[in-house]
Every structure is written in C-alpha cells, then in structure tokens.
Amino acid sequence: MGRVDFNGRSYILNGEPVTIAGGTLQFFRVPAETWKDRLFKMKEAGLNTVDTYVAWNWHEPERGSFDFTGDTHPQRNLEGFLELAQEMGFYVIIRPGPYICGEWRNGGIPDWLIKEHPEILAKGPDGPLPADIYYPPITYLHPTYLEAVEEWYNAVFPVIKRFLYTNGGPIISVSIDDEPSYWETIFQPFLTDYNDPVVRPGGLWEKWLGENFELEVLRRRYKGNFHDYSEIRPPRSFSEPLPKLLDWHHFKIWMTNEYVRWIYERMERAFDVPISILDPYLLQLAWKHFFNYMRKHNLKVHVWTEFWYSFYRSFDFKEDRLGHVYYKTGVYRYHVKKAGTPPLSIETQVSLAHTIEPDEAELLYGLLPPLGIPNINYYLFVGGENPKGYESHNGVTWDVYSPVGLDGEERPHFGTIKAISEFLTNAEGVAEAELRPKVAVALYEPYEPVSLWAYDGLEESSDLNEYLLGERGLFTLLAMSNTPVDVIDLEDATLEEFLSYDQVWVYSLDFMSRTVQDKLVEFVSKGGNLVVLPMLPRYDENMEPYSALADFLGVEVEEAKARRNPRLIQFLSVSAEGIDRMLVRNTVRGVRGGEPIAFMGEKPVGALVRKGSGSAIVLGFRLQYYTSHHDLHRKFIWKLKELQGVKENFEVTNPDMIVLPMEGDGYAYLAVMNPRGHQVKGRLRYRGIEIPCLMDAIELKKRGVLFLPVGIKPGDVEVVYSTATLVKRDGDVLKFRNHLSGVSEVAIKGVKSVRAKCGEIIDELEENGVLTVLVEHPCEHFEIELI
C-alpha cells in the first residue's frame, strides 16, 4: 500500500518527493503487443509517469456492455495495460472522462447515448447545432446526461480503484473530464447553451440571476424595468448591454463549475488519490472563477495546464511566443500557489506538428520550470492509430511527429526531452526553486471575453491578443526586455499583494469596476508604482461614468476611437528621452497632466505622476514587440523601470541573452536562454557574482536553454557557479551538460583538485577557496571528478 501526498511543488509518494516527468501513451490506439516496447522507450527518455485517457465509447460500445480486459479487442485491455505500467516502474495518471476530447470520436461520448437522448446536446439560440460536428457539445447539467455518466462511473471506477497507488497500484491521480468548455463554444457569446433546462422559466439561468443579483441592480445593469427574474431572457445578439453579455458568459462558467463539482463529489467518494482537471474553460483569466468556486465549496482539485503552439504544421516556437508563455504561466502560478497544489503541464506539445525542431522544442520545455512548472507531461509521446469507427477529424493514423512513432521510431526531439527530464528529476533543489519577479502585470478578467468576441462597442480596441498576449504583444516585449513578470488578478489580488511588487502594469479598456479603480488609487497613494496604458478607464462595471483613477492622478487621456481594420491601422512615431522614433501601432492619445515623458511630435502622449512615495506612468499608446525595431521598445521598458526605481537582481551585457532566475533558499538556477537562434555571447552578473571569470563571455551558439547553478551544494562541496547545466552528482562525479558551447567554466568551493572526464581542463584559477576550471568538451556532456 502507498500514500500520495503533495506540497506546492511536488507529489510526495510514500514520503519521497517526486517530480513528474511524464508522457501520454493512449493504450487504445497502440497495438497491445507493442505496449512493452513503447513503455521501455519512455523509460529511456527519462520519464517516470504514463498518462492515458479511458474512452467511454471504446469500453462501452453498446449500452451496458463493458470491456476492460480485452475480451472484444486487445486494445480494450485497460487492466493489462495498468499491470504492465506498474511492472515497468511507472506512475500512472488516468483520465476517465466522461469527455476526453483526445481527437477521438465524439470526444468519448457514446453514439448510442446521443441517438437515444438527443436532448442532452447543447443548443444554439435558434435550436439544435449541426449534427455532424466532431465534438458535439453536451448540456453538462442535463439530468439524463448525468444519469448516463453515473452508470459509466459505476463500471469504470472499480477498475481504477483496484490500481490506485494507495491500493498498491500505479495510479497517483484521477482526472475530471477534459477542458470543460462546451467544446470551446464557451468562447462564443451566443453559440451555446440555450437548451431547455438552461433557459426555461425557473431554469438554471433564472436561478443563477436570482442567487447573484438583486432585481434593482439588474434594472440598472441591463437598462430595463424588470419586475421578475423570469422577464430577463438570455442575450442573443450584441444589441444587448455589455454587462448582460458578460453575465451570460460568467453564467456558463458557473454551469461548468457545478458540473465539475458533481463529478468531483463522486470521485472523492471513490478515490483517495488527488483528483485533477486540465485547464477549466480553456480561458486563462477565467480560471479565477474556478479557483474561487473550489475554495467556496472546499473542492480539493489539482488544476493542470497545457501548452500548444502548432497543429498539423511545422512546430513554430521562437522568441515571439515567449509572451504568451509568460502570460499563461503567470496566471497559472498566481492561482496554483494559493491553492498549494503541484503545478503540472499535463499536455506539453510534442506532437500534432508534421515536424518539431529540437531547438525550438527545448525552448518551450526549458521555459516551463523557471516559469513555475517543474512537473511536465509530454503529449502525445507515443503515436498510435484510431480503431475503425472511432476516427475523428484526424483520420486513421494518430502519429503526428510524436517522439516515439507508431512504428517505434524515435524522432529528433526525443533526445531533447531526455535531457530536460534528466535535469528536472535529478538536479539538487530544482523543484523547490521559484521565480520571484519584481514586476507584475495586473489583468482584469472581464476583458477576456470582450476580446474573444471581438467586441466593437468600446473606444479602445478589444484585441488583447494583438496588443497584450500574442506574438507582438506587451508580454513578449517584457520577456525580450529581460523583465520577469508575475500576473495577478485586478479584482482578487489584495492591496498587500500589489504592494509586494516594485512595479505593477495595467492594460486598460474603457471600463473597470469601481472597486478596482479605487484599489489602484489606494495602491499609488500607499507608495505603489503603477504603469497604465493605453488609456484610463472612464466607466464602471455597469458602463456608468466613473473615473476615480484618472481624477486621483490628475491626468486626462484624449478620447479617440481605436481602429480595427488592419489595413487602415497606421504606425506612428513616438519619442522619449534617449529614444527616438519608436514606432507604435494604432491610435495614439494625448496625455495631459503630470510630467510629460513621451511625445508624438510636440504632443505629450505619456506622463509620470508622483503621489507622495508612489507614482503612476500613464501612456496613451500601446507597447508591443516588433522584431524589426524592438531595441527601441526595450530601451523604453528599461526607461520606465528606471523612472520608478525597479532594478533586477541580475544584469546581462547582451540583452538577447534572456535570464530567468529560479531561486531557492541560498541558491539559484539561472535559466539562460537564446530564443532568437543566432549566436549570442554575453556576461552575467547575479547578486554580485560575475559569470564567467576565465572566459570572456558565456556563449550560446544556437537556440536553447541552460540552467546555470549558483550556490548549489550537492553534498560536501558547493558549485559557486557554472556556465553549463549541473545535471546531478553521482558519488565523486559532478555531471554537466552544455550543448550550446564547447567550452564551459565551473567554479567549486570545498575541493582542492578536480579531473575532467569527456573533456580537458584548459585553464584554472584558485582564489579565496574557490577552484575555477575551464573545460573544453567535444560532446555536450562532461564530468568533473572531485579529488
């Protein structure tokens, strides 16, 4: 028998912390006679965990006829697969749905259920959705659907229970559904769900309104003279008031939460291992609603995330994707840290692209640990094939450049995964090390759906992907400006949380709630440093005039409608002290009040306001990342940090060498990356330590990531620093990896002499008890033997 515990970074199995290095092998797509070989290859890649779905429609092809032992098809032998995984020393994460997505027929929902009960399908405002879509969305809370799910669980749960880690088996977590988002129709304001249980008089919509709003509030909010909740029908077009559209969106989120709660209660009764879920809603800012709901109802759900950057084309992950990873991991860190559960990316892309270049794959995988996710599962690790009748939009073969192909072939990024896994599961203290940014971006959740809908009723452009989150967004600019950032929620974060940062950025559209505006006023008045762009809010959450933040700052931002047609959006030149002709996109608004710091011609378009010990920078334009002239924008970021006294605890001589410090108690791993691909050379200073000493500079010959140890103590010696990744200590041997340069520098305290293996010491220096050696190594791995 075993025990599964956890802390805020790792799973603890029988008292031992374990970093998850996992891969997805969907046994129902892989010939049973090859399972052992594929698992052996996963072991070779340094993986310790297998993740798999259990497809409802595969194991119950006809109502009431279940097969978990392979009687009707060898690939239905769930029990045999779990026995083999345990025999080969793997932990298992299992995902029994009911909905699995998985590019699988109906996402796992049985055809017989849909044919017998079409009423469970979600509806649009005009009735049923097309019958031939590949993932038919379900009305989650439909009682007929929940009855069928209960029957499925009654059959599959006893199998899972026998294989729990706590019962001597390999399963360490059971997952709820998959990406519950009405199959992404939650992104669209009016596509779902208008099914009868939702919209009928006395139905779920009416119930939700009554539990959350007084009628008087709704009269003001929706601009109507309502006498009863039944008079308030769900919105069906953008002609409805924006607050009503937002409430309809949040109501659908609530229905999803209620559904997850229903599933969780059944799993909690059956299982004594952690219950998990992947990415509720597929909406990052909306995660706040899930975490708040969990706390309210005491649901101990482990929330996991995912990273996808290409589907059915070549893998494309270069520096312009950094911003989205900084953003998504920032939102995730914010919530998971408060929940106290281990952060895990359960679907880290290693497939669904016709080629995946190892260097770009490494950039993605290497970014996740310093950005707060030391536990990584690679999806889809082993390629497979869809059994006849279970194809979806992906056709027959489901092997789109998986690290291990359908035929057992290892693709080039197999080695990348092996190297990352070896480091994460062996390096001293890496799981506990954390990013501790001095800068935060505070985001307002109602802007997320407004952006998704391309809502055009505001003065400012609601295209947050273009200006904030995407390839040319502000987050990418901050990343390429060597500015590590946290992401905090404007509504939920406390004043103390705001004040814990040296600088807080806020991206503002026309409206922002009164509570949030008042909080920002208090933040500045109590010594906080705020940057707000590209306007100041003029309205509150009910779209009624409210401008407390602008009034407090004494700043007026010019009214100007942003353009939406890309062919008509101009580039304008903005200047600042030491920065000439910085091109910015779309509308630039004049800023009156405060000390002017940025200009378009003679017109001030940015200002600094000091309020006691606090300050605010107001910009009337957007800051974005453009590869053609990004240096000017980076200089402007550095200028704004300087104006508000923000100083990082590291410095680099080459700004194209991006650094993310992972800090522990008295030690650190510096994730040093080359995201652009050309050769980068530079020196690094971290907390007073100059790196390197014997070499002129750290060299990064190509795209990739190194994890440089600083103050790591593997046993009785201290690695003061190294320009190579310290993988682990094995007896008297320190094992390093540097695939970005053929020369590495290692500084060690507590040893008089060392010998190099797989390399040659070409220079050395002993000073103040520290022995520094320069090692030339023909291969990416080399060793230092302590003598």
The helix (H) or strand (E) run that includes residue 48 is none
Predicted confidence at residue 411, as pLDDT, reads: 98
Cis peptide before 98 (omega within 30 of 0): yes
Measured torsion, CA atoms of residues 333, 334, 336, 340, in degrees rounded to the nearest 10: 110
The count of other CB atoms within 10 Å of the CB of residue 379 is: 23
Residue 16's Cβ-count burial label (10 Å; 0-12, 13-18, 19+) is exposed
Predicted confidence (pLDDT) per residue in 294-345, tens digit: 999 999 999 999 999 998 889 999 999 999 999 999 999 999 999 999 999 9
Predicted confidence at residue 1, as pLDDT, reads: 83
Find, among 213, 237, 239, the residue nearest to 226 by Cα.
213
Question: What is the C-alpha radius of gyration for the chain, rounded to an integer number of angstroms?
Answer: 27
Contact (CB, 8 A) for 691 and 709: no
Whole-number Å distance between alpha carbons of 584 and 533: 13
Instruction: Work out the percent of the chain whose per-residue pLDDT is above 90.
Output: 95
Contact (CB, 8 A) for 450 and 462: yes
- Beta strands at 301-307 and 344-349: parallel, antiparallel or unpaired: parallel
Q: What is the DSSP letter of 469?
A: I
Catalytic residue from among 347, 360, 460, 780: 347
Whole-number Å distance between alpha carbons of 758 and 783: 6
Tokens of 569: 């959006």
Contact (CB, 8 A) for 744 and 760: no
Map residue 339 onto helix, strand or coil.
helix
Predicted confidence at residue 747, as pLDDT, reads: 98
- Mean pLDDT for all residues in the chain: 96
Find, among 490, 535, 472, 470, the residue nearest to 509 by Cα.
535
Map residue 338 onto helix, strand or coil.
helix
Tokens of 765: 């220096």
Contact (CB, 8 A) for 206 and 137: no
Kindly report the backbone phi and psi dihedral angles of residue 365, in degrees, each rounded to the nearest multiple of 5, phi listed first: -65, -35
Angle between helices 322-339 and 287-297 (to 10 degrees): 10
Find, among 154, 144, 147, 92, the residue nearest to 118 by Cα.
144
Whether residue 580 is predicted with pLDDT greater than 90 in this model: the reply is: no
Predicted confidence at residue 630, as pLDDT, reads: 74
Predicted confidence at residue 499, as pLDDT, reads: 98
- What is the SS3 assignment for 404-468? ECCCCCECCHHHHHHHHHHHHHHCCCCCCCECCCCEEEEECCCHHHHHHCCCCCCCCCCCHHHHH
Q: Which residue has the higher pLDDT, 564 or 784?
A: 784
Residue 347 among the catalytic residues: yes
Contact (CB, 8 A) for 723 and 744: yes
Predicted confidence at residue 38, as pLDDT, reads: 98
Whether residue 459 is predicted with pLDDT greater than 90 in this model: the reply is: yes
Tokens of 179: 């990406």
Whole-number Å distance between alpha carbons of 520 and 427: 41
CA–CA–CA angle 129, 132, 134 (5° rounding): 100
The count of other CB atoms within 10 Å of the CB of residue 1 is: 9
Predicted confidence (pLDDT) per residue in 694-749, tens digit: 999 999 999 999 999 999 999 999 999 999 999 999 999 999 999 999 999 999 99
The whole-angstrom distance between residue 40's C-alpha and the CA centroid of its chain comes to 30
The greatest distance separating any two alpha carbons of the chain, rounded to the nearest whole angstrom, comes to 86
Whole-number Å distance between alpha carbons of 608 and 616: 6
In sequence order, what are the residues at sequence separation of 6 or more whose Cβ sits closer than 8 angstroms to the Cβ of residue 620? Answer: 533, 534, 535, 557, 558, 588, 589, 590, 591, 605, 606
pTM for the model: 0.97
Predicted confidence (pLDDT) per residue in 63-113, tens digit: 999 999 999 999 999 999 999 999 999 999 999 999 999 999 999 999 999
The residue written with tokens 């995330």 in the block is 305
Predicted confidence (pLDDT) per residue in 597-635, tens digit: 999 999 999 999 999 999 999 999 999 998 876 789 999
Whole-number Å distance between alpha carbons of 481 and 448: 25
Beta-bridge partners for 4: 13
Whole-number Å distance between alpha carbons of 530 and 778: 50
Predicted confidence (pLDDT) per residue in 486-504, tens digit: 999 999 999 999 999 999 9
The helix (H) or strand (E) run that includes residue 583 is strand 579-585
Predicted confidence (pLDDT) per residue in 179-208, tens digit: 999 988 999 999 999 999 999 999 999 999
Catalytic residue from among 60, 103, 179, 718: 179
Predicted confidence at residue 416, as pLDDT, reads: 98
**Confidence band (pLDDT; 50, 70, 90) for 528?**
very high
Residue 179 among the catalytic residues: yes
Residue 261's Cβ-count burial label (10 Å; 0-12, 13-18, 19+) is middle
Measured torsion, CA atoms of residues 404, 178, 359, 43, in degrees rounded to the nearest 10: -40
Predicted confidence (pLDDT) per residue in 7-57, tens digit: 999 999 999 999 999 999 999 999 999 999 999 999 999 999 999 999 999
Alpha carbon separation from 200 to 142, 194, 231, 647, 782 (Å, rounded): 13, 9, 11, 57, 69
